[in-house]
Amino acid sequence: MSADAPRTLFEKIWDRHVVLRRDDHCLLYVDRHIIHDGSFHAFGKLAKRGVPVRRPRLTFGTPDHYVPTVSRSAADAPTPEIRRMVETFVDNVRAHRVEAFHLDDERQGIVHIIGPEQGITLPGLLLVCGDSHTSTHGALGAFAFGIGQSENEHVLATQTIWQAPQKTMRITVDGRRPEGVSAKDVILAIIARIGAGGAVGHVAEYAGAALRAMSVEERLTVCNMSIEAGARAGMVAPDDATYAYLAGRPFAPQGARWDAALAYWRSLPTDDGARFDREVSLDAAALEPMVTWGTSPEHALPIGAVVPDPANASDAARRQATARALEYMGLAPGTKLEGLPVDRVFIGSCTNSRIEDLRAAAAVLRGRKARIPAIVVPGSGLVRKQAEAEGLDKVFREAGAEWRYAGCSMCVGINGDLGRPGERIASTSNRNFEGRQGKGVRTHLVSPAMAAAAAVAGALADARKLGH
Amino acid sequence: MRASWGTEAVAAQFTTLTAVAAPYDPVNVDTDQIIPARFLKVQRGKDYGRLLFHDLRFGEDGAAKPGFVLNRAPYRDARIFVANANFGCGSSREAAAYAFYDQGFRSVIAPSFGDIFYNNCLQNGIVPVRLPDATCARLRGLVTDRPGTELTVDLVELRVVEPDDTAHAFSVGAFFRELLLRGVDEIGLTLSFADEIEAFERDYARAAPWAGR
């Protein structure tokens, strides 16, 4: 490809980060590496090798997966093993002089919440983290992807990563999103349309009028679940909304550096005529609030739909998958999703724990009571502080929901926040896999407003019918 | 640029493997099924083999479920796993690859993989092989109908071979193929490019100072 051929956003960032080529792979420079309390294998391997962290200042850490959400003390971890995970993280970042936001720091939170919040994530950067939802950060126009612990070690040691070439995919969401249809509903509809493996091997760029009209926080929700369609990364071209969001953030460039950055960022959006390997388009106006019925994020339908019948599946593999999912979920074909009794509600996770998410949930819960146990887990200490400044914590508490401290919590459950076997949970997280929220737990993925509506109804409900 | 592939194998090496293959039919198998999250605290020195598919493979009492493929002879000793589309999707947990490795697997064949799981396999001496849907279905059928059937995964010739010599060509990135064939340590290789990385950093700091810290 000639130097001035039209390029996509992704290709521009990729090209800018190539240190060298070897066979079909490129060695890419990593601008930001975010680590968490699950990164212990990488540090263990690094120590064994006796190699230092090459660029500690480009590395940021926060404990999130294993932290208790009932308090800010590791001592409140439910088991000594879980407590040790948080303490090991502290030891590792201190030993390697990596800047980290610990439990006593209001900047602590879920890695994918604090990256954008602190301005660690910026347009045009290459960012990696040992967590699959690193695709979140692409909402700011970064190329961001999840890696394994061996790759973590490689980045710590070399500040680079080997990458195979990627295909590109543009997902265009045109039209106007109806009232009551959230960013979460948009991404669930996309995944239902293309499948859990629909974007494997691709970097997805989200485009179209409906995406442009989204706030940065909404775009973060969309990009977050790119991995649930199998995409290597999800991206949205930076625009004035992005720059307004980033201006003044603690780690964002200031003064002359900001001006230089801005000039470069404005050159990043995909050129007219750039070619994508695959194009998909959706009409936002046709979307409705979504809920998952099965054990893959692709098992999503509008709230007004009924549980599908395996007999109607398009092929044998799908028929089997549907039947198996229904067995695990304890659902019969034809059952109405709306009104399906739910035992518990979780509002949180890197998908939906930002201030706009909490506002959406609070708008439904205000002046109402939750009929079932519900926990609200903000994405960071700063989100928690902001929510309290707006009185949202009071709304949640008065509705009978628990107001927790920041962490991954019931999205992955390894801090001990889990459901009980057989329980049905309406959850704003990203994965409804078997056992994800505890052995035998049945997860229904929904938006924050829909989760709040489920708490009020004690069942899957259409938040639009409750009104604000 | 130096051609420093090195000659001494220090990392996991793979050239060719002929072994019993185990079939697994479900699509979209996520890494939470391959290894439940509660086991992610386990240190790497421990045996992850028993954790592979733990909750599908063992009952509440720890007893092996007789219906699960890896609990049945001869699949219990399989070293090649033949799976279905989007295998290893979801969480980035490298423990999923540790569990396959410790159980004895050195290759996983599927129509498509979760990207991160695919890379984690390469990092742990497991060769992930992408073959078309129909070919994977044929191979799963073959090893289901005739338990104990051995397949050959040949990373030199880039093909999977059935007992009757029917061969299926596959491709894997030339870079990682070379690393695996020679048992090259990837970090050691990258560190040998320290001059190139430093040169990049100098140029980048001049051109995009805002990107640094």
CATH of residue B196: 3.20.19.10
Q: Report pLDDT for B2.
A: 43
Helix (H), strand (E), coil (C) string for chain A? CCCCCCCCHHHHHHHHCEEEEECCEEEEECCEEEECCCCHHHHHHHHHHCCCCCCHHHEEECCCCCCCCCCCCHHHCCCHHHHHHHHHHHHHHHHCCCEECCCCCCCCECHHHHHHHHCCCCCCCEEEECCHHHHHHHHHCCEEEECCHHHHHHHHHHCEEEECCCEEEEEEEECCCCCCCCHHHHHHHHHHHHCCCCCCCEEEEEECHHHHCCCHHHHHHHHHHHHHHCCCEEEECCCHHHHHHHCCCCCCCCHHHHHHHHHHHCCCCCCCCCCCCEEEEEEHHHCCCEEECCCCCCCEEECCCECCCHHHCCCHHHHHHHHHHHHHHCCCCCCECCCCECCEEEECCCCCCCHHHHHHHHHHHCCCCCCCCEEECCCEHHHHHHHHHCCHHHHHHHCCCEECCCCCHHHCCCCCCCCCCCCEEEECCCCCCCCCCCCCCEEEECCHHHHHHHHHHCECCCHHHHCC
Q: Report pLDDT for A4.
A: 79
Contacts of A44 in chain B (CB under 8 A): 43-44
Overall domain count for chain B: 1
State the pTM of this model.
0.97
Backbone angles phi, psi at B81, to 5 degrees: -115, 125
Nearest CA in chain B to A315: B27
Q: Is A273 left (phi over 0), alpha (psi -120 to 50) or beta?
A: left
Contacts of A45 in chain B (CB under 8 A): 44
Closest Cα in chain B, distance from residue A224 (Å): 12
Under the banding of pLDDT at 50, 70 and 90, the label for residue B5 is low
Q: Please give the CATH architecture assigned to the domain spanning A9-166+239-265.
A: 2-Layer Sandwich (3.30)
Under the banding of pLDDT at 50, 70 and 90, the label for residue B173 is very high
Distance CA B54, CA B39 (A): 10
Nearest CA in chain B to A440: B55
Half-sphere CA count of A132, side-chain side, radius 13 A: 28
Strands A99-100, A233-236: parallel, antiparallel or unpaired by DSSP? unpaired
Whether residue A233 contacts residue A204, with contact meaning beta carbons closer than 8 Å, is answered with yes
Nearest CA in chain A to B44: A41
Q: Report pLDDT for A229.
A: 98
Residues B88/B94/B99/B101 CA torsion (nearest 10 deg): 100
To test the contact with chain A by mutation, choose from B28, B84, B197 the residue with the greatest count of A C-beta atoms within 10 A, namely B28
Please give the single-letter amino acid code of residue A46: L
Instruction: Residue A187: name the closest of A110, A325, A284, A303 by CA.
Output: A284
Contacts of A296 in chain B (CB under 8 A): 28, 30
Q: What is the per-residue pLDDT across A32-86, written as a single tens digit (0 to 9) for each?
A: 999 999 999 999 999 999 999 999 999 999 999 999 999 999 999 999 999 999 9
Closest Cα in chain A, distance from residue B16 (Å): 21
Distance CA A82, CA A179 (A): 42
Contacts of A162 in chain B (CB under 8 A): 175, 186, 190
Tell me whether residues A436 and B32 touch, CB distance under 8 A.
yes
Distance CA B35, CA B50 (A): 10
Contacts of B37 in chain A (CB under 8 A): 412-414, 436
Cα distances from A433 to residues A325, A445, B45, in angstroms, run 9, 10, 28
Q: Provide the 3-class DSSP secondary structure of residue B134.
A: helix
Q: Which helix (H) or strand (E) holds B9?
A: none
The edge-to-edge listing of strands for the beta sheet with A442-445 is A402-403, A374-376, A344-347, A424-427, A442-445
Please give the single-letter amino acid code of residue A3: A
Q: Is the peptide bond before B74 cis (omega within 30 degrees of 0)?
A: yes
Tokens of A66: 């294993």
Tokens of B60: 């509440």
Mean pLDDT within B188-203: 97
- Cα angle A279, A282, A283 (rounded to 5 degrees) comes to 145
Q: Provide the 3-class DSSP secondary structure of residue B89.
A: strand
**Cβ-based neighbour number of residue A213 at 10 Å:** 14
- The CATH superfamily holding the domain A290-466 is Aconitase, domain 3 (3.30.499.10)
Query: B1 lies in a domain?
Result: no
Query: B80 lies in a domain?
Result: yes
- The yes/no answer to whether this complex scores an ipTM above 0.90 is yes
Tokens of B190: 């990258």
What DSSP character marks residue B94?
Answer: T
Contacts of B204 in chain A (CB under 8 A): 29
Distance CA B81, CA B103 (A): 11
Distance CA A144, CA A146 (A): 7
Q: Report pLDDT for B1.
A: 40
Q: What is the per-residue pLDDT across A247-279, written as a single tens digit (0 to 9) for each?
A: 999 999 999 999 999 999 999 999 999 999 999
Query: B33 lies in a domain?
Result: yes
Q: What is the per-residue pLDDT across B115-166, written as a single tens digit (0 to 9) for each?
A: 999 999 999 999 999 999 999 999 999 999 999 999 999 999 999 999 999 9
Q: What is the per-residue pLDDT across B43-96, written as a single tens digit (0 to 9) for each?
A: 998 999 999 999 999 999 999 999 999 999 999 999 999 999 999 999 999 999
Query: B128 lies in a domain?
Result: yes
Query: B190 lies in a domain?
Result: yes
Q: Report pLDDT for B91.
A: 97
- Residue range(s) defining the domain that contains residue B60: 16-211
Classify residue A104 by burial, with Cβ atoms within 10 Å: 0-12, 13-18, 19+: exposed
Distance CA B60, CA A435 (A): 13
Tokens of B154: 């040949």
Decide if A9-166+239-265 and A167-237+271-286 have a common fold: no
| Domain positions in chain A | 9-166+239-265, 167-237+271-286, 290-466
Sole residue written with tokens 């706009």? A356
Whether residue B39 contacts residue B46, with contact meaning beta carbons closer than 8 Å, is answered with no
Q: Please give the CATH architecture assigned to the domain spanning A167-237+271-286.
A: 3-Layer(aba) Sandwich (3.40)
Q: Write the residue in B90, B114, B175 that is nearest to A433 by C-beta.
A: B90
Residue A409: alpha-carbon gap to chain centroid = 14
Q: Is A258 left (phi over 0), alpha (psi -120 to 50) or beta?
A: alpha
Which portions of chain A are predicted below pLDDT 50?
Answer: 1
Q: Write the residue in A131, A232, A324 that is nearest to B115 by C-beta.
A: A232
Classify residue B93 by burial, with Cβ atoms within 10 Å: 0-12, 13-18, 19+: buried
Q: What is the per-residue pLDDT across B14-32, written as a single tens digit (0 to 9) for each?
A: 999 999 999 999 999 999 9
Closest Cα in chain A, distance from residue B91 (Å): 5
Query: B57 lies in a domain?
Result: yes
Tell me whether residues A154 and B86 touch, CB distance under 8 A.
no
Which is it for the CA torsion A74, A75, A78, A80, positive or negative? positive
Contacts of B89 in chain A (CB under 8 A): 196-197, 200, 230
Q: Report pLDDT for B11.
A: 78
Give Cβ neighbours of residue A403 (< 8 Å, ≥ 6 apart).
A376, A393, A396, A397
